[in-house]
Amino acid sequence: MTRKTLKVALLQETDRGSRDANLDAIESGLRDAAKAGAELVLLQELHNGPYFCQRESVEVFDLAETIPGPGTDRIGKLAEELKLVVVASIFEKRATGLYHNTAVVFDRSREIAGKYRKMHIPDDPAFYEKFYFTPGDLGFDPIQTSVGKLGVLVCWDQWYPEAARLMALAGADLLFYPTAIGWDPNDSDEEKARQREAWITVQRGHAVANGLPLLSCNRTGYEADPSNVGSGIQFWGSSFVAGPQGEFLAQAGTDGRELLVCDVDMERSEHVRRIWPFLRDRRIDAYGDLTKRFRD
């Protein structure tokens, strides 16, 4: 890349109670980011509504949107007006009975620059995503924009080093993770701390292993389980930007809405990869077993 510095923003938000209210908050956040000089803004996972995967309900499919559609149209118009690169996250209705958790990238235009469909789909208490989302079929291909190639992944993807590596091998300049993750209120404080630190650590590891800046934007606030079966989720925020050695460039708090703005030195990856040439020393001749589920 030729650019030296990229000013980025992460919009850490709560669910405002309706699609229109959430989009109003996003519009306000994008305008504030543009005023702060940001060129790129990352939004959180499924930002147009609540995190609905705490229960399994066919009625929830009514929340899904086509791409393009009303939600992407509004964000695209703002990207064009404010001259921003925006990474958004949509519950995509591809066809009746076929839905995805999809990241959408706008490059200073209302036109969609590219999409990524979430590849790793969890199915755990309060995170019943397999009921709603078909695994992605677009592969791990960075999206070309005016600020570089964006390696966009989504939430559960962040636990898998293979996903980050494949984006890096395809030429990504930065890694992105729109996210919705939080605590079970019944867990102990010690367990909560372990989970949050593991989440941060694994993503910083992806930045280090690939020598790339990394942006992770999480939800914040408490969302009750609509079925009243579970205890709800306290989303832990903690959105952050890390440099190519895993160093924190900016980090948000755990329990509040926040617009996180910082500068990313786009030349550091070149320098870091020269002193830590991990790609050079990979033993690709010995990695065949990685394509197996398990070595029995």
Longest Cα–Cα distance of the chain, Å, equals 56
**Active-site residue identified among 53, 155, 217, 262:** 155
Catalytic site includes residue 155: yes
What distance in Å separates the CA atoms of residue 179 and residue 45, rounded to the nearest whole number? 5
Torsion angle, alpha carbons of 155, 161, 162, 168, to 10: 90
CA angle 231, 51, 130 (to 5 degrees): 95
Per DSSP bridges, beta strands 258-265 and 5-12 are antiparallel
Catalytic site includes residue 118: yes
- Sequence-distant (6+) residues with CB within 8 A of 243 are 207, 213, 249, 264, 265, 268
Catalytic site includes residue 130: no
Phi-psi region of 210 (alpha: psi -120 to 50; beta: other; left: phi over 0): alpha
**Active-site residue identified among 65, 118, 129, 217:** 118
Task: Report, as residue numbers or ranges, the catalytic residues.
Answer: 45, 118, 155
